[in-house]
Amino acid sequence: MNVYDSARMADVLAPLGYVPASDADDADMVILNTCHIREKAAEKVFSELGRLRPLKQAKAAAGGSMILAVAGCVAQAEGEELLARAPYVDIVLGPQTYHNLPEMVARAERSRGRGILATDFPAEAKFDHLPEATASGPSAFLSIQEGCDKFCTFCVVPYTRGAEYSRPAAAVLAEARRLVDQGVREITLLGQNVNAYHGAASDGGTWGLGRLLRALAEIPGLERLRYTTSHPRDVDDELVAAHRDVPQLMPFLHLPVQAGSDRILAAMNRRHTADDYRRTVERLRSTRPDLALSSDFIVGFPGESDRDFDATMALVREIGFIQTYSFKYSPRPGTPASVMERQVPEAVKSERLAALQELLNEQTAAFNAACVGRVMSVLLDRQGRHAGQLLGRSPYMQPVHVAAAAACLGEVVALRIVEALPNSLAAELASARDREAERACA
């Protein structure tokens, strides 16, 4: 979402003459778009600011000026502290205020030296006032939902992004059509809780994510749809049916479970049990048998015993994930879990994380190895590191690279996977016979 937000900030600043710079050295404005989800991410902001300060001073010494802004969730959560600790910052703006950036820039230019703090909440205003999104390649993000009302006890999102808000369906469809007109072939719908989407529809009703996906699938030229991040509680029948009926919807789903122990899930306020999660996965797989899953895990949540952790390991073995993100629990100021008793020692967290990641990495490697020899359709969306190489994503989000003509950039091509590397798949263009075989399997 921060990648999407950064692009929208660039869009909103374009009429003022700002264009993206390749580095910060000589920039007229530097915006740090920050994440507050774990302590490590939040800490980075201050070290980055320390690095930028001399650049700003050098620019001033040379007779120019650099506006330094901090955006995102650290700005929202720690705005005042930020201005106190780094008074050379000109603008501190929370995630729901990007549309006001031009005005803030004008104010910063007038009030040199006095930092501006903008941390208002309503997401509605932001989306209404942002300019049209511009595409930067064949694959694009599109925010449809923001904020969260679930209040998991470990999480800062409800406090930094605010209450849950869904953009009206017509606004989402219009943005998608514009992106497709600009050459976009794949759209990833974004939201902190994307499947809690309940957007106002022009028929006077409310659309859930499943309905929205069906409508998006009718846009000619839009070949691939994805969405992230989903909550296990919000997988309704309409969404499950969309996985069966919408061919553009890729067979890959990021569905965070966090933990496998019901006791810990309850303490996290996740509002589902491990069995609920199993059943949800079963429902999805029964309609779309090739659906591959990804997930997020937290180890060392307060009170997590060895037995609780074993339940997480057991769930992972049982379900099988092809891609994952796993973290040590990081106490976040102001969240209920940060003041719970029985915080888990760092050493135990590290041990559990290592064990979990070993298992998860095995599953990823096994899935990647099983892909060798298969033919997959891949949207080639970027130049590779080597000359004549293009990169893309498989239907299952695996990075794939192939030697192919530059003309293939932006195309969905049939590729035969020839090798599974640690972080990607190597492929070759599939022969006509391969393509026939793929069609026969489909």
- Give the per-residue SS3 of 100-112: HHHHHHHHHHHCC
CB of 75 to ligand SAH, least distance (A): 18
Computed on alpha carbons and rounded to an integer, the radius of gyration of the chain in Å comes to: 23
Q: Which stretch binds ligand SAH (CB under 6 A): 139-147, 149-157, 207-215, 362-370?
A: 149-157
Alpha helices in 86-168 (DSSP H): 101-110, 123-129, 157-160
Q: Which does 158 bind (CB under 5 to 8 A by kind): ligand SF4, ligand SAH, none?
A: ligand SF4
DSSP state of 43: H
Q: Residue 139: left (phi > 0), alpha (psi -120 to 50), or beta?
A: beta
Q: Which does 179 bind (CB under 5 to 8 A by kind): ligand SAH, ligand SF4, none?
A: none
> In sequence order, which residues have a C-beta less than 8 Å from that of residue 302 and are 6 or more positions away?
267, 329, 337, 340, 341, 342, 343, 344
Q: Which stretch binds ligand SAH (CB under 6 A): 57-65, 280-288, 323-331, 431-439?
A: 323-331
Which of 28, 48, 276, 296: binder of ligand SAH (CB under 6 A)? 296
What would the x/- binding string for ligand SF4 be over residues 168 to 207, using CB under 6 A? ------------------------xx--------------
Please calculate the CA angle 73-78-84 and round it to the nearest 5 degrees.
140
Query: Burial level of 428, CB count in 10 A (0-12/13-18/19+)?
Result: middle
CB of 327 to ligand SAH, least distance (A): 4
What would the x/- binding string for ligand SAH be over residues 207 to 236, using CB under 6 A? ----------------------x-x-----
* Footprint of ligand SF4 on 115-154 (CB under 6 A): 148, 150-152
Token readout for 70 is 């901090």
Which of 38, 177, 278, 285: binder of ligand SAH (CB under 6 A)? 38
**Helix (H), strand (E) counts: the chain:** 14, 19
Q: Which stretch binds ligand SAH (CB under 6 A): 15-23, 65-73, 154-162, 386-394?
A: 154-162
Query: In 168-240, where do the E strands start and end?
Result: 186-190, 199-200, 206-207, 224-228
In the complex, the residues that contact ligand SAH under the rule CB under 6 A are 37-38, 154-155, 157, 192-193, 229, 231, 256, 258, 296, 298, 327, 329-330, 332
In the complex, the residues that contact ligand SF4 under the rule CB under 6 A are 148, 150-152, 155, 157-158, 192-193, 231
